Amino acid sequence: MPKAGASSLAREISAVRRSLSALDRTLSRFAARAGRRERHLALSPERPRRKLKLSPGRLKALKLHGRYMGYIRQLKPRAKAQVRALRASKGLRAAIAKARKLAAA
């Protein structure tokens, strides 16, 4: 007479086999798609990308704006309002200094 645990072990092994065969089918489909994509990319001509031409002044302005945004994101709404008002009246550099000071506090 078979043991009581033998049938549950057989069911578990059967479930694992089904899972592995499903995984195998999924990986086969994925490999086929990846191969099609590689062939498509190899056959399609690559369009040249536009090179951005930024002047030194524009680069400097973008850097300053990034610094300003980095500090202002950290602030609470009331402090943000103070910094925005300072930016409108005294300029970006003063606003960055104030935002840095408020962010550290």
Q: Point out the residues of the chain with pLDDT beneath 50.
A: 1
Query: The pTM is what?
Result: 0.53
* The predicted structure's pLDDT at residue 5: 65
Contact partners, residue 95, CB within 8 Å, separation at least 6? 68, 83, 84, 86, 87
* The predicted structure's pLDDT at residue 2: 54
Asked if 65 contacts 92 with a C-beta cutoff of 8 angstroms, the reply is yes
* The predicted structure's pLDDT at residue 7: 85
